[in-house]
Amino acid sequence: MRPIWKGAVSFGLVYVPVKMYAATEKKDVKFNYLHEKCKNPIQYRRYCPYCEEEVPLEELVRGYEYEKGRYVILREEDFDALPGGDGHNIEIMDFVELGEIDPIYYDKAYYLAPAGGGEKVYELLKRAMEESGRVAVARVTIRSKVSLAVLRVARGVLSMSTMFYPDEVRDAGGIEELHYRVEVPEKELQMAVNLVNSLTASFDPEKYTDEYRHALMELIQARVAGRQVAEPTRPEAARVVDLMEALKASIEKAKRERGRQAAGEAPGEGEMEPQKSRRRGRKKAAGEG
């Protein structure tokens, strides 16, 4: 891991020199677009249709379109003169309770490590936040963008998550479909609560995997090796019209799954053969008809 930013966390008159590392990474499978005829990658060019030529990086400027087809040009010195915080400083503004922050505000996560002999003051800030049970709301500049951020102790280190500003979070009140009125019977509500309780467990991130990405990589590797990939069987869910029946069936299914997990069985184990039998039965009945 390489640091992507160096600076200091400031709270009051105390400065904590830190290095910042990306705490997460995307595991998306990336594809190149090819020309189907020759199978070569296509090129993306910085091309000016007015001058009919490619434009080198040194001739690019940033323009803000304030009217259709009209731009105001801003250069690097214009950005340098703007207020918004030191580009090498994480300025703590408030300490708050973590539960007061709606997760919708979170954007990207980073780890902060001590730098330049700042181990003691780094540990001091970390221990003070642990003892108080607070997290810090801060302001930070990363790559010319001034962001809100929250600092907290996670996995034994100081971590920082950049946040959206309030005016960047859309108001759900503008969604027309949410302006509904329905009556929820108390019995159905209690059944739904029972279902939630049946599915409640301690959060263990290790048990969640990206099955789509794994299957995609298996398909790609099989194509490279010239093999075919067997299509996985998918259980056919019967459509239940009655809401109470659906809730009861869901609770029973959740209990069975919990029992299998407690016994060390894989999720869904034990149900494969009946499903196959049902499918064979349907195929046989269709053939006889």
pLDDT of the residue at 234: 65
pLDDT of the residue at 137: 96
Rg over CA atoms, the chain: 28
The 3-state secondary structure of the chain, one letter per residue: CCCCEEEEEEECCEEEEEEEEECCCCCCCCCCCECCCCCCECCCCCEECCCCEECCHHHCCEEEEEECCEEEEECHHHHHCCCCCCCCEEEEEEEECHHHCCHHHEEEEEEEEECCCCHHHHHHHHHHHHHHCCEEEEEEEECCEEEEEEEEEECCEEEEEEECCHHHCCCHHHCHHHCCCCCCCHHHHHHHHHHHHHCCCCCCHHHCCCHHHHHHHHHHHHHHHCCCCCCCCCCCCCCCCCHHHHHHHHHHHHHHHHHHHHCCCCCCCCCHHHHHHHHHHHHHHHHHC
Q: pLDDT grade, residue 276 (50/70/90)?
A: very low
Domain architecture of the chain: domains with CATH = 5-26+82-168 (2.40.290.10), 47-80 (no CATH)
More confident residue, 226 or 80: 226
Tokens at 262, concatenated: 């407690």
pLDDT digits (tens, 9 = 90+) for 114-141: 998 899 999 999 999 999 999 999 999 8
Q: Is it the case that residue 102 has pLDDT exceeding 60?
A: yes
Give the span between the Cα atoms of 17 and 89, in whole angstroms: 9
User: Which residue matches tokens 């034990």?
Assistant: 270
Q: pLDDT grade, residue 209 (50/70/90)?
A: confident
Percent of the chain with pLDDT over 70: 84
Q: pLDDT grade, residue 78 (50/70/90)?
A: confident
pLDDT of the residue at 75: 87
Tokens at 133, concatenated: 């049970």
pLDDT of the residue at 253: 84
